Amino acid sequence: MTVVESIDPRTGQTVEVVAPETTGDDVARVCAAAADAAPALEALGRTGRARMLRLMADALEEDRETLVALTDRETALGAPRLGGELTRTTFQLRFFADVLDDGGYLEVTIDHAGATPMGPRPDLRRMLRPLGPVAVFGASNFPFAFSVSGGDTASALAAGCPVVVKAHESHPASSARQLAALRRGAEAAGAPAATVDAVFGRDAGVALVDDPHVDAVGFTGSVAGGRALHDRASLRPRPIPFYGELGALNALTVTPAAARERAVAIGEGLAASFTLGVGQFCTKPGLAFVPAGPDGDAVVAALAGRVRETAAAVMLNARTREGFASGVDALRGAAGVRVLVGPPVDPAAAAVAPVLLEADAGQVTEPMLEECFGPVLVVARYASSDELLAALAAVGPALTATVQTGDDDELAAPLLTHLTARAGRVVWNGYPTGVAVSWAMHHGGPYPATTAPLHTSVGAASIRRWLRPVSFQDVPSELLPAELRDEATDLPRRVDGRLVLGTPPAR
Amino acid sequence: MTVVESIDPRTGQTVEVVAPETTGDDVARVCAAAADAAPALEALGRTGRARMLRLMADALEEDRETLVALTDRETALGAPRLGGELTRTTFQLRFFADVLDDGGYLEVTIDHAGATPMGPRPDLRRMLRPLGPVAVFGASNFPFAFSVSGGDTASALAAGCPVVVKAHESHPASSARQLAALRRGAEAAGAPAATVDAVFGRDAGVALVDDPHVDAVGFTGSVAGGRALHDRASLRPRPIPFYGELGALNALTVTPAAARERAVAIGEGLAASFTLGVGQFCTKPGLAFVPAGPDGDAVVAALAGRVRETAAAVMLNARTREGFASGVDALRGAAGVRVLVGPPVDPAAAAVAPVLLEADAGQVTEPMLEECFGPVLVVARYASSDELLAALAAVGPALTATVQTGDDDELAAPLLTHLTARAGRVVWNGYPTGVAVSWAMHHGGPYPATTAPLHTSVGAASIRRWLRPVSFQDVPSELLPAELRDEATDLPRRVDGRLVLGTPPAR
C-alpha cells in the first residue's frame, strides 16, 4: 500500500506516515457521502451555515499552537508567517458567515405577474442554490489559506456545498489536523459528518475530478497540473466547472517619474515583495520594468542591496526547490541576461538564496515571460516609453499588474488602460503580494492566470462559483424557499426590476 | 466555392444564394476587426451602448414587414408567430438598455482602505468589464430571438463585447438582413462597424470557436453539435467559456389531485404546449407523467382529442424533419410504447402531424428519456406516488420541470424538492414553453440542458456571461473608470460591505 509521508523540508526526512493513499473505492465512497450530506447542509440555511463557519473558525483557533507548529515543520514557512496565515484563514471563515448574513449573494430577484408587450408574464422568482459536492485541491504554498480550511472550502461550505479536499502532498499532517478541526465545527453546528472530508494521493485527486458526484472543482497550483485537470473536467461525460488558479508572472512597471521620485523605496519594496515567503506566492512579481539611466540604476542598486541582505531560506519541498533551480538555470542561460545577485542554485541544499537578474526590455523573451516559482526577479530596463509599451505587449495575462508612478505621470493613463485589459487586479504604487480578504477583492484573471476568468478565488464573490440559479414560476408562496417569499425583507432583493435593500434583524 | 442557399422548407426549393461560405481567412479577418472594435465599444459607455441597443431595436422595427416575410419563407413558422418573436426581440434589446441604465450588473464594490486583523488593507474597487469578442451561434428554431439579433447578441453588446454571429444554415437570408439592421443601429449610435458581424457555413463556425481573438461562445442547438464545440473551446491553447444550451426533455408531472380537479384543461393545455411552433421549442415538454385510472384517462382523452385536431405543419428544414422522423421511429419501437395519435412520419412530406405516445411509468427507458425535437409527447402513466418518484429519479436534468398540482396536494412539496435539484426553472400549474424576458428569468440548467449551469441565456443575468471582474488597488480616483469613483452615485454599489442604492439621473 502506498502511504502519505510527512516530510520535514529542512532536513528532507520523513517524520511520520500520515495515512495510506486513498483508494479509488474510498474516493467514490467519500464523494457519495458528500452527495448524501448535501440536502442537510442546504437545510441548515444561511443562519445555520454561518454558525457552522464561525464554529469551524473557533475550532481552528483552539488548536492554533499545534497547527502552527505542525505546519511549520511540514512547510518551513516559519511560525510568524503561519500564525498570520491562520488568522487570515479564520477571519475568512467568519467573513463568509457575514456574507451569508447579508444574503445578497443569493441574487434574489422577484418579478410579479404582469403585462408585457408579448402578453401576460407569470410570477417569476430567481435565486442561487448550491451546486453540489465540490472538490478542492489544496495548494502547497498557503497551507492554511489555500488549503483544507482555506478560501475554496470556506466559500463552498458557505454556498451550501459539501467539500472533499484533495490534501496537498507537501503538508499531509497539517491537512489531516485542519480537517479534524473543521469536522468538530461541523458537528457542533449540527451539520452532517460528511460536510467536509479529504482524500490523499495524486491518483485520488484524479479520481475526485472524475467522480460523478462531484459538481465543481477548485484548484490552486501549477499550469501543467491545473491544465490537465481542467481538460479532464471538461471532457467528463457530464462536464463540470473547473476553477483553476494556475500561474502568473505579475509584471511590475516603474515609470521614469517614479524612479526619479523614490528609487530607494521602490527598490527595497520590490525586494521585499519578490522574496516574501521565499518567493512562493502566486502574486510574486517575476518581471519588473525599470527605466534605463541613473534613476533606474538607483532603483536597481537599492533592490540589489536589499536582495544581497536577504538570507537563504528553505523552500516548501524538494520538488519546488528543483523546479526553482531549473527555472533559474533557464533564466540565467537566456540571451542577454545579466546576473545581478545570486549564485547558481544548489539543488542539494535545503535553503535557497534569492536571485536577481537583469536584461534589456528589448530582449525580454521566454523564459522571462513565464512564472518561475520562488525568489527570483528579472529586471527589464527600458530606454523609452515606446520600448516599455512594446515589451508590455508581449507580457501575458496575470493575476495582477502593478505600476509605480510619479506625480502628473503621463504614462499613468496608458499603462492603466493596457494593464486593465490583461490582469485581474491592478495595483498602484504598491506591490502585488498581499491579497486582502474583502468584498472588493478579485483574485483571478485571464488564462493562464486562471482557467475561469469570470471568477475569483478570494473575496466575497468567490462564493458565486458554487451556486447555480433556479427560477420558480407561479410556485405558491408557502412552498417557496424562505428567501423568495414576498415577506422575506431581511436581505437585498430585486423586485420588479428595482433593487431593494434588506433590513437585517438585529443581532 | 461553396455557397449558402436560402431554402423554402414548404417546397424544399432553393430560393436564392445568400453568400459564399465564409473562408478561414475571412473568419480571421472578421474576428481581428471585432477585437479592434472592442475598445471603442467599451468607450461608448453604458449610456452610449444603451442608445445603440435602442437604435438597433428601432432599425429592426423599421424593417419589420420584410423581416417577417423573409423569415417566414425560410422557416415556415408563420407570420403571426414571427411577428410576436420580433416584438420579443426588440423588447429584449431595449430591456438590456434598461439593464445598462440600472448599472447594477457591473457589481461595483468599493472597500475603502482600513484596518483588518491582518494589518492595513488598501483601497480596493471591483467592477465587471467586457470579456472581449463573443461568437454567437444562432439557433434554427428562433430565427430572431435566439439568432442574429437575439439574446446572446443583445446581452453581449450590452456588456460591451463585439459579436460575431455564426448564421444558422436554416435562415441565412434572414440572418443577413437582421445583421444589416443591427449595423445601421450601431452606425447611428457612433459604434464601430465591426461591433457586430456574421460568418456563414459550418467550417466558419468551427474556425470561430478556434479563433484566438474570440473570448467566449454562446451556442443554442443540439447536444451533439454543442458538446463537440464545447470540448473544442475547452481544449484550445487558451480555453474560453462556452455557454451552450443543448437539449432538454422538460418532463411535466400531473398529480392525481390535479387530474381529478381539471383533467380537460390540463389535457388541452399540454397539447397546445407540445405542439406549439411544431414542437420546435427547447422548452417543449417531451414526457408527461399522468396517473393511471379514470382521472388520468380523462387527461389523456382531452390531450389526444386536441392532438387529433392539430393540423400537420411544416418543420424548419429537411434535417430537422429527418431527425424528428427517426426520433419518433425509435420511440414507437421502444418496449411498452402505445401509439395514441399519429401515423408514422413520412420523411418525404413537408408537413408533419403531432404524435402522442403512451407507456407505463415503470417502463420509461431510453429513448423516452431523451429529447426528440418536434411535436411528439410520451405520456407515462403511474400507478402510485412511489412509482412516480422512482420514474422521476431516472429523468435527467433539464431547462424546466413542470408540475400540475391540486388543492392541498401532498405531492407538491416532495415534487418541488426533487425538481428544484434538477431543473433551471420550475413551472407550477403552467407549461414550460413560454420563456419571459425579465429580471428573474433563468433559462439554463445542469448538463445536458446547458454546458454552463451557473449561467442563463435569457433574462437580465445573461449579461454576466460576457463580463469578467477587475479590482483596482489604490488607483487614483481621476484614473478610475467613472463607475468606481466615490462620486458615482447613479448606480447600485456595495461600499465597505454595505449595499447602497443608486439614484439614477432623471430621464
DSSP string of A231-275, one letter each residue: HHHHHSSS---EEEE------EEE-HHHHHHHHHHHHHHHHHHHH
CA B70, B71, B76, B81 torsion-angle sign: negative
Model confidence at A503, pLDDT cuts 50, 70, 90, reads confident
Beta partners for residue B73, in sequence order: none
Helix H or strand E encompassing A428:
strand A423-428
d(CA B396, CA A129): 18
Q: Which of B442, B469, B502 sits opposite A471 (nearest CB)?
A: B442
Residue A160 pLDDT > 80, yes or no?
yes
Which string of b and e fits B438-466 if b means at least 16 CB within 10 Å? bbbbbbbbbbbbbbbbbbbbbbbbbbbbb
Edge to edge, the sheet with strand A163-167 lists A196-200, A163-167, A134-137, A216-220, A242-245
Residue A343 pLDDT > 80, yes or no?
no
Mean per-residue pLDDT over chain A, rounded:
96
What are the cell numbers at B340?
A: 395514441
pLDDT digits (tens, 9 = 90+) for B483-500: 999 999 999 999 999 999
Q: Provide φ and ψ at A189, rounded to 5°.
A: -90, 0
Contact B282, B425 (CB under 8 A): no
Contacts of A121 in chain B (CB under 8 A): 436, 438
Helix H or strand E encompassing A111:
strand A109-111
Contact B442, B234 (CB under 8 A): no
Model confidence at B357, pLDDT cuts 50, 70, 90, reads very high
- B360-365 long-range contacts, CB within 8 A, separation 24+: B360/B292, B360/B336, B361/B289, B361/B387, B361/B388, B361/B390, B361/B391, B362/B387, B362/B390, B362/B391, B363/B335, B363/B336, B364/B287, B364/B391, B364/B394, B364/B395, B365/B334, B365/B335
Count CB pairs under 8 A between chains A and B.
236
Name the E strands within B228-375: 242-245, 252-254, 287-291, 313-314, 338-341, 351-352, 355-360
Q: Is the Cβ pair A426, B454 closer than 8 Å?
A: no
Report the residue of A246, A411, A479, A500 to disrupt the B interface, i.e. the one with the largest count of B CBs within 10 Å.
A479
Q: Which of B234, B468, B502 sits opposite A454 (nearest CB)?
A: B468
Average pLDDT over residues B88-100: 98
Q: What is the DSSP string of B392-443?
A: HHTSPPEEEEEEE--TT-TTHHHHHHHHHTTEEEEEESS-TT----SSS---
pLDDT digits (tens, 9 = 90+) for A361-380: 999 999 999 999 999 999 99
Helix H or strand E encompassing A198:
strand A196-200
d(CA A303, CA A341): 10
Beta partners for residue B471, in sequence order: A425, B126
Contacts of A474 in chain B (CB under 8 A): 427-430
**Four-point Cα dihedral B329, B335, B340, B344, nearest 10:** 20
A458's CB contacts (< 8 A; 6+ apart) are: A151, A435, A436, A437, A441, A442, A443
**Selected catalytic residue, list B42, B282, B371, B483:** B282
What are the cell numbers at B18?
A: 445568400
Residue carrying C-alpha cell 457586430: B196
User: Residue A97 burial (CB < 10 Å; 0-12/13-18/19+)?
Assistant: buried
What is the model's pLDDT at position A349?
83
Residue B506 pLDDT > 80, yes or no?
no
Residues listed for chain B: 507
Model confidence at B401, pLDDT cuts 50, 70, 90, reads very high
Beta partners for residue B404, in sequence order: B254
Average pLDDT over residues B22-30: 98
Pairing of strands B493-495, B109-111: parallel
Chain A nearest C-alpha distance from B472 (Å): 5
Which string of b and e fits A29-46 if b means at least 16 CB within 10 Å? ebbebbbebbebbbebeb
What is the model's pLDDT at position B91?
98
Average pLDDT over residues B317-325: 93
Q: Which of B239, B434, B461 sits opposite A469 (nearest CB)?
A: B461
What are the helix (H) ranges across B138-239?
A: 151-159, 172-188, 202-210, 223-235
Model confidence at B468, pLDDT cuts 50, 70, 90, reads very high
What are the cell numbers at A274?
A: 519578490
Radius of gyration for the alpha carbons in chain B, expressed in angstroms and rounded:
24
* Cα atoms in the Cβ-side hemisphere of radius 13 Å centred on A49: 31
Is B62 in the active site?
Answer: no
Contact B497, A98 (CB under 8 A): yes
Q: At what angle do helices A64-75 and A45-62 cross, to 10 degrees?
A: 70
Give the rounded percent of residues in chain B with a pLDDT score beyond 70: 99
What is the model's pLDDT at position B321?
93
What are the cell numbers at B240?
A: 474560453
CA B279, B284, B286, B289 torsion-angle sign: negative
Average pLDDT over residues B164-174: 97
Residue B187 pLDDT > 80, yes or no?
yes
3-state secondary structure of A136: strand
Q: Which of B121, B439, B453 sits opposite A438 (nearest CB)?
A: B121
Contact B383, B390 (CB under 8 A): no
Model confidence at B379, pLDDT cuts 50, 70, 90, reads very high
Contact A454, B391 (CB under 8 A): no
Q: Is the Cβ pair A98, B476 closer than 8 Å?
A: no
Residue carrying C-alpha cell 458567515: A97
Average pLDDT over residues B408-421: 97
Residue carrying C-alpha cell 474556425: B207
Average pLDDT over residues A234-246: 97
Nearest to B99 by CA among B151, B165, B38: B151
B389's CB contacts (< 8 A; 6+ apart) are: B414, B418
What's the complex ipTM? 0.97
Give the type of residue at A347: P
Contact B13, B110 (CB under 8 A): no
d(CA A402, CA A419): 8
d(CA A98, CA B452): 28
**Selected catalytic residue, list A74, A245, A358, A387:** A245
Residue carrying C-alpha cell 425579465: B438
* Cα atoms in the Cβ-side hemisphere of radius 13 Å centred on A183: 13
Least trusted range by pLDDT, from A496-505, B82-91, B188-197: A496-505
Report the residue of B131, B442, B462, B477 to disrupt the A interface, i.e. the one with the largest count of A CBs within 10 Å.
B442
Contacts of A434 in chain B (CB under 8 A): 122
Contact B399, B283 (CB under 8 A): yes
Least trusted range by pLDDT, from A43-52, A310-319, B342-351: B342-351
What is the model's pLDDT at position B507?
52
Residue A439 pLDDT > 90, yes or no?
yes
Residue A37 pLDDT > 90, yes or no?
yes
3-state secondary structure of A195: helix
Give the rounded percent of residues in chain A with a pLDDT score beyond 90: 96
Taking 3-state DSSP, the helix, strand and coil percentages for chain B, each rounded to the nearest 5, stand at 45, 20, 35
What are the helix (H) ranges across B197-293?
A: 202-210, 223-235, 256-275
Model confidence at A505, pLDDT cuts 50, 70, 90, reads low
Q: Is the Cβ pair A473, B425 closer than 8 Å?
A: yes
**Four-point Cα dihedral B187, B188, B190, B191, nearest 10:** -40
Model confidence at A320, pLDDT cuts 50, 70, 90, reads very high
Residue A506 pLDDT > 70, yes or no?
no
Contacts of B449 in chain A (CB under 8 A): none
Q: Is the Cβ pair A116, B91 closer than 8 Å?
A: yes
pLDDT digits (tens, 9 = 90+) for A373-401: 999 999 999 999 999 999 999 999 999 99
Report the residue of B410, B416, B471, B491 to disrupt the A interface, i.e. the one with the largest count of A CBs within 10 Å.
B471
Average pLDDT over residues A294-322: 96
Nearest to B375 by CA among B460, B302, B275, B471: B275
A202 to A133, A215, A260, A262, B43: CA distances (angstroms): 19, 19, 50, 47, 47
A318 to A350, A351, B295: CA distances (angstroms): 8, 10, 72
Q: Is the Cβ pair A428, B475 closer than 8 Å?
A: yes
What is the model's pLDDT at position B307?
97
Helix H or strand E encompassing B92:
helix B79-102
Is B282 in the active site?
Answer: yes
Contact B452, A464 (CB under 8 A): no
Which string of b and e fits B230-255 if b means at least 16 CB within 10 Å? bbebbeeeebbbbbbbbbbbbbbbbb
Helix H or strand E encompassing A102:
helix A79-102
What is the model's pLDDT at position B350?
84
Instruction: Measure CA of the first residue to CA of the last residue in chain A; give whole Å.
Output: 52
- DSSP code of residue B61: H
A206 to A146, A232, A285, B144: CA distances (angstroms): 19, 9, 31, 43
Residue B400 pLDDT > 60, yes or no?
yes
